[in-house]
Structure 1
Amino acid sequence: MTIVEFLNARLAEDEQAAHAASPGTGGPERVRADVAAKRGIVEQYTATYRECMDTLDNGAQSAAEEDGVWSALHAWRRALEHLAAVYASHPDYDPAWKS
């Protein structure tokens, strides 16, 4: 299971559980907004990954461009690792994702 698959599964579970959120925590609307924000991060990582791989497959124009590609991927990956850490006690969590 990839970190993207793991996060998408956890976010789907969180969204399903949103109806039970208490008003003291912002209620279901806050939980749904939180899930949507996290999904946006996962989706942006996926899009950036595809774009970066295309750039590398087509040959980066310069060493600086290649360094920029790897830096962007690393930053997005770290963001996913931080999101996944919330679910570290889940049996599908991979300790290799620990930031």
Structure 2
Amino acid sequence: MSPDPYIKQLMALSHGGTPLTRFRDRLILASLIESRGCERFKLVSEAQEDEDIRRFYKLLWASEAKHSHIFVHMALRYFDKKEVDERIAELVAEEAKIVENLPLRAALH
């Protein structure tokens, strides 16, 4: 299995800085990754005609949503809320640039 280009480029955003800032960034990036996984599972769930399959993907969607929040809460245990919020905004902007340049492909988190 080849490395996921989305994940690879996102994780590169956490390089540099101090070990502490890399830790903060990795928590936030993990939250972003889980959020996007949640969004994809939601879309897949809504597209299903079979109720059992729809329910299965809805359960995955709900699980991913919880994971996203866990990483942000962890970051807030170690870092100031303003710092976390600002860094989330910065990383989301960088993520948008990454996504714009990715080829369209089938992928689920």
Q: Normalising by structure 2, report the TM-score.
A: 0.41
Query: Which of structures 1 and 2 has the bigger CA Rg?
Result: 1
- Greater relative contact order (Cα 8 A, min sep 6): structure 1 or 2? 2
